[in-house]
Amino acid sequence: MKTIGLIGGMSWESTVTYYQLLNRLARERLGGLHSAELLLWSFDFAEIEALQAAGDWEAATARMVAAARAVERGGADCLLICTNTMHKMAEAVQTAVDIPLLHIADATAAAVKAAGVTAPLLLATRYTMEQDFYKGRLKDKHGIAVRVPDAAGRGIVHDVIYDELCQGIVSPDSKRKYLEVVAQARAEGADGVIFGCTEVGLLVTPEDFDVPAFDTTALHARAALEFALDE
């Protein structure tokens, strides 16, 4: 089994999900007492969030590169950035290390295309919904043109992530708001939903929707486990 390197803590609420999924998948595949071989670098998210809010992506990139190099030195065979938003610096991180970075958008795209979805709605942080590093990769590399909520919807989705989900708060009222955002997009032609933030799956599940929904955390973890067990 190859060792999976995780850059997490952004937030730790979803990093816990990565840890659970990877170990459960390993047990399902291998049976018995098997679990995944993992190395984890976990940030203090308050420091990273402050850089995000300030728009200091250069400093955030430097922190991510340092973490990636540390995980590689620790013996990891591949690397996961356990957050969609911080894939903004995926290219810089990959350039800084010799082990492969398994990109969360690639794992997501494979599932979207397999389901025949062509116009998925992206629920994510404002950075991921409004900037091009994630949407652009889906479009340019995979031919998937995602949709995003309107300005009010983007504000709702973003605020719930940072003010609630990243702090361990799961609110039925916020779930209702998310469902309303998706319902509006469905009425406008969206035929799928991408949980484009690793915390979104803490609030809603694919079973909440009448169209295919794609939990990026689960898809990313599965891709990593498959890489780790590939001979």
User: What's the token pair of residue 10?
Assistant: 């952004």
Residues composing the chain = 231
Catalytic-residue membership of 83: yes
Q: How far apart are the first and last CA of the chain?
A: 8
CB 128 within 8 A of CB 101: no
210: burial class by Cβ within 10 Å (0-12, 13-18, 19+)?
exposed
CA-CA distance, 157 to 82, in Å (whole number)? 19
Catalytic residue among 61, 83, 128, 217: 83
Looking at the DSSP bridge assignments, the partners of residue 166 are: none
Catalytic residue among 82, 125, 197, 216: 197
Catalytic-residue membership of 128: no
CA-CA distance, 213 to 93, in Å (whole number)? 28
152: helix, coil or strand?
Answer: helix
Strand pairing category for 4-8 and 78-81: parallel
CA-CA distance, 193 to 186, in Å (whole number)? 9
CB 142 within 8 A of CB 136: no
Place of tokens 């969360």: 104
Catalytic positions, written as ranges: 83, 197
